[in-house]
Structure 1
Amino acid sequence: MLKPSPRRNIILGILLLLVAVGVAIFDYVQPAVDGAGFFRRYLLVFDLGVLLLGVAAFVRGVWVFAAGQQWRPSDSEARVGPWVKRNSRTLLLSGTVLMGTAFGVLTAIAVRLPKPRGTQFVIHHELLRMAALLSSVLFLLGVLALLLPMVLNVLEGRSFVSFVGARHVRAAKSGFLTVISVLSISGVAVSSCALVSVSSIMGGFGADLQRKILGNNPHITIDVQDQGGFDEWEPVLQRVRLVPGVAAATPVIAGEAMGSSHTNTSGTMVRGVDPESIGNVIDLLQNIEVGKFEYLTDPEQLTRLPAGEIVGLGPGGEPFRKGPDFGGSFFRGSGTPIDPSVKDVLRAPAIHPGVIMGRELAKTLHVYVGDEVTLISPMGDLGPMGVMPRVRKFRVAAIFYSGMYEYDASHAYVLIDVAQDLFSMGSNVSSIDVRAANGERASDLRPAVHEVVQREDLRVRDWKELNRNLFSALKLERIATFIILSLAIAVASFCIICTLLLMVTEKGKEIAVLKSLGASSRSIMQVFMLEGVVIGAIGTIFGVVTGIALTVGLSLYGLRLDPEVYYIDRLPIKVDWVDWVLVALSALAICTLATIYPAHAASRLRPVESLRHE
């Protein structure tokens, strides 16, 4: 079994790095062969594992060599069995190397797994992803455990205060005090890890919501308060498009209607759009998952969809395809003759304007691409019995998925002239939707847009103003969560207070000796403060690094969620270094404050009373 000397680690690291480079060169120069994809995939996996292993061994060896220190067991290790005493460091190094290799292998496999669709859940794929995540966390914890004695060695060589404080941390303690010390480190680590993870997850939900809002809504809206819309909008539209910072603008008709199919009805928010410019303002074209946007402008194609074209998706993402159509005396595309007894009953489908609707709305109405739906507008004509609703038939041109249930369950898009006729608006429009070049700074662009509108009856609002309550609630929730989890760190810091107080009692004689040799009360106070800070720093670093590994791993591999329940297929994660640094600084600050009272108590010990009975 290799002893963990720096020279051997440096040599081992260099050899492994050379092997990794050699494998990469071999994989690069190897000619492509049919059927060799499986071999080359796992060759890359092996290469990545060897590379991580070499880097870990080389960095460890260089660090120890630079510190000028050989590995030496702490005082507490001298009390364990001889075999563990001789091999504990080697076992830790071997376990870390094993986890590093597993991390490289499993990561290379996990990132190549196919992305699941819909409610599909492949158990062995998810187990591989979770195994890759767990191995990465264990690998980083092993690296930190290997680096910890090196850091303590460096502290011992700094000054009197750091030497005594570091020796106290690694010195042998009574059994109860050892348990309290472990609990102190574990409490701070778990609290810091939870705070980092929760902050990243909540930030991910906020970022995901903001991305969906910016993708499905205009950044700036120009409209009027009444429902009749406004006229003479073309000059306003042209002036707005010329504003610096405006990426695109489009006229929109908006109104409420009742959607009806042969089997069900549902309330619908109908939006009439300009097909030439709507794709530059919102992500409607990118969100279409079934059908085509061109069917909206050319609905005649919906009457002759080719057989086999996807017209819908099942719960698991499985495609629903259109069956063969009839033409003449045969089913079109299949050559199967039509029964003469029903031939006279069959009629060619009528041509109706196209409509693009959300996935959940299509599910509610039980319709697919090419099916007929009816939109009923309350803004109808005046008849002998009062206002008669205006009824128009449409044909489903496409189905979109925006990721926001409220939109997918209620929104439908038609051509702007069709919407003007449906809602009896003539040539008026409901609003002019504007997309800014930088959506985050839409509020800065709003005054410039308002200046060129030049109409008192129009109002200009940005997306932050329209969604102010929602994002204010999310911000308040993040702050409250941070405060509550910080209290968990504060509770864990109580263990640090207990640890230091017990250590002051246990080390009373040593404190008296140090004071007798000339150590000042200030130095004694600094020693115990440093000891508490080191304990808190160990817990903070282990916790924050574990939290970072979990959040980065989850953002890379993804935690699968059921989209039928949560309406997202994976847990959103926002990797934000500012939050991580804030968590680390907060935990260190709380732990530092917890050391003041025990350190002050240690500095007030009188050498005469401690050495009286010696």
Structure 2
Amino acid sequence: MFKPLALYIGMRYTRAKRRNHFISFISLISMLSIAVGVTAMITILSVMNGFEKELRVRMLGMSPHVFIMPYFDNHLNDWPALMTHLKDYPNITGVAPFIQGQAMITRNQAVYGTLIQGIDPELEKSISVVQDKMLLGSVEALLPDSFHILIGEELQRSLGVRIGEQVTVVVPQATVTPVGLVPRMKRMTVQGVFRIGMHEFDSSLILMHMSDAAKLLRLPEGSAQGLNIKITDMFAAPQFADQLRQELPAGYQVADWTYRHANFFRAIQMEKRVMFIILTLIIAVAAFNIISTLVMLVTDKQADIAILRTLGATPLTIMAIFVVQGVIIGLFGTLLGVIGGVSLALNVETLVPAIENFFNMKFLSADVYYISDIPSDLRMADVYWITINAFLISLLATLYPAYRASRTQPAEALRYE
């Protein structure tokens, strides 16, 4: 079978022969180092993707993909007609009105800042997961003019309140009384407790019926402050928001979830980039091992190189021989790393609980972290970039030793042979 000279000799040099066992050992270490680096990169980035996806799902479980609010007023009187119009869009899966406002909630000596959200219990099911996240009570308990509320688990624990007990909600609006200005406050009954799994919601969100929120915030009866929209593809929200801006009449403000949570997800993307750079250094260290391996091999094979040169081998052929060896090390190391990384990333959600059970420990305690399980989201785009990156680093590591071998002078190399 035909084999190019450079490929044939390069492959022979990768196998241990009498005098170069140590060099082959270092080659093996270099290969394993690259494999470990690639495995670590794929696994860690998959876990970071998993955390990002889990946070996005939990966050967007209570936040809309797109929301519409008026530009020049604090309420929408025509929201039923607008909602009917929006239902004609095929990619919209749910629309619900809302009213929001800042408030404080107090009980005994405890006082906490909160966000009031008035909802329509029936319509809210199409855009929110709160019904599925109820620990106690039900969304159906939010009846008009009942002043019933649902609160998060953390807020319930901080207030020490039980189902059926009352709390006082204070809004930053004043009421004129004979004794002066008094903040608006209302006694409300806790009828449910939810747990979303995000501190932002579990510690500061209060849900009540829209009619009650409108009365508390002094909005016209039957009005809403805006519409929350869910669409089929959350990642298409920016494009869909732009489409709505162009098609809706003037006077409406349209924004999407990437605008509302932009800083949070930008921080996650920055962490992933930094982690990618840090983990690339592991592969770079392995590349230095390749350089040292090839430098020692070039020194050990000075006489062989000189003989090949005298037989007519060109400097380019000599260079190709050592590039082949470095590429083989990098290629096999990268492939081993990809196999190991993909296998680990696909099974990390099974392996981590097994390790926790074996050592009787918990990596992420549910009492401290909102995500107590380690998720994984393997993305093939990450695998491609990591594979190409590792292979290119391995290839670049071969260039200097191979160039040095190609500069070998036969007369100098054979002088003492």
TM-score (norm 1): 0.62
Aligned counterparts of 2:72 and 2:87: Cα–Cα separation in 1: 24
Higher strand content, 1 or 2:
2
1:392 aligns with 2:186: yes
User: Which amino acid in 2 is paired with 1:395?
Assistant: T
1:445 aligns with 2:263: no
Give the corresponding residue for 1:435: 230
AA at the equivalent of 2:202 = D
SS at match of 2:125: helix
Q: Return the offset for 1:359.
A: 1.3
Aligned alpha-carbon RMSD (Å)? 2.4
| 1:479 aligned to which of 260, 273, 280 | 273
Could you say what secondary structure the match of 2:367 adopts?
Answer: helix
- Determine the C-alpha separation between the residues in 1 that align with 2:72 and 2:128: 24
* Corresponding residue number in structure 1 for 2:139: 293
Task: Give 1:581's aligned amino acid.
Answer: Y
* 1:452-531 to 2 correspondences below 5 Å: 452-456=247-251, 458-531=252-325
Q: Deviations over 1:232-251 (max 9, x none)?
A: 33322222232342222111
Give yes or no for contact 1:243–1:449 (8 Å, CA) kept in 2.
no
CA contact 2:144–2:210 (8 Å) conserved in 1: no
The range that moved more, 443-452 or 570-579, is 443-452
1:574 aligns to 2:377 (yes or no)? yes
1:58-457 correspondence runs (5 A): 158-172=3-17, 173-174=19-20, 176-224=22-70, 228-262=74-108, 264-297=110-143, 353-427=147-221, 428-456=223-251
Which residue does 1:554 correspond to in 2? 348
Query: What is the DSSP-based 3-state SS (H/G/I as helix, E as strand, rest coil) of the residue aligned with 2:116?
Result: strand
Distance 1:381 1:227 in 2: 22
Tell me if structure 1 keeps the 8 A contact 2:175–2:183: yes
- What is the distance in 1 between the residues matched to 2:272 and 2:313? 47
SS of residue paired to 1:368:
coil
- Range with bigger deviation, 157-166 or 285-294: 157-166
CA offset at residue 162 of structure 1? 2.3
> Which structure: greater helix fraction?
1
Residue aligned with 1:609, SS: helix
Q: Report the counterpart of residue 584 of structure 1 in structure 2.
A: 387
The answer to whether the Cα contact below 8 Å between 1:240 and 1:453 also exists between their aligned partners in 2 is no
Task: Answer yes or no: is 1:540 the counterpart of 2:319.
Answer: no
Secondary structure in 2 matching 1:243: coil
Tell me the number of residue pairs that the alignment of Structure 1 and Structure 2 aligns.
406
Matching residue of 1:81: none
1:452, CA displacement in angstroms? 4.7
Larger radius of gyration: 1
Quote how far apart the aligned CAs of 1:543 are: 2.6
Segments of structure 1 that go 5 or more residues without pairing to the other structure are 1-155, 300-351
Q: 1:533: Cα distance to partner? A: 0.9
Amino acid in the other structure paired with 2:139: F
CA-to-partner distance for each residue in 1:263-309, whole Å, 9 max, x for gaps? 6332221111011211101211122233222233399xxxxxxxxxx
| Structure 1 residues 401 and 557: CA distance shift in structure 2, 3 A | farther
- Looking at structure 1, the residues matched to 168 and 120 of structure 2 have their Cα atoms a distance apart, in angstroms, of 21
What CA deviation, in whole Å up to 9, does each residue of 1:152-174 have, x standing for no partner?
xxxx9744322221221112354
Given residue 411 of structure 2, which amino acid in structure 1 is its aligned partner? V
Q: What's the CA shift for 1:176?
A: 4.7
- Is the 8 Å Cα contact of residues 98 and 120 (structure 2) preserved in structure 1? yes
2:407 to 604, 608, 611: 604
Q: Is the 8 A contact 1:380 1:424 kept in 2?
A: no
How far residue 591 of structure 1 moved from its aligned partner, in angstroms, is 0.7
Cα gap change, 1:495 to 1:502, in 2 (>3 Å) = same
Could you list the per-position Cα deviations for residues 63-120 of structure 1 after superposition, in whole angstroms to 9, with x for gaps in the alignment? xxxxxxxxxxxxxxxxxxxxxxxxxxxxxxxxxxxxxxxxxxxxxxxxxxxxxxxxxx
**Shift in Å, 1:225:** 5.9
Q: C-alpha deviations, 1:280-339, integer Å up to 9, x for none?
A: 01211122233222233399xxxxxxxxxxxxxxxxxxxxxxxxxxxxxxxxxxxxxxxx
Gaps of 5+ in 2: 354-362
| Contact 1:245–1:445 (CA under 8 A) maintained in structure 2 | no
Q: Is this contact kept in 2: 1:240–1:452, CA < 8 A?
A: no
Shift in CA distance, 411/555, structure 1 to aligned 2, threshold 3 Å: same
Matches of residues 42-57 of structure 1 in structure 2 within 5 Å? none
Opposite residue 171 of structure 1, the aligned amino acid is: A
TM-score by length of 2: 0.89
Distance 1:586 1:599 in 2: 20
Partner of 2:358: none
- Distance in 2 of aligned mates of 1:438 and 1:273: 23
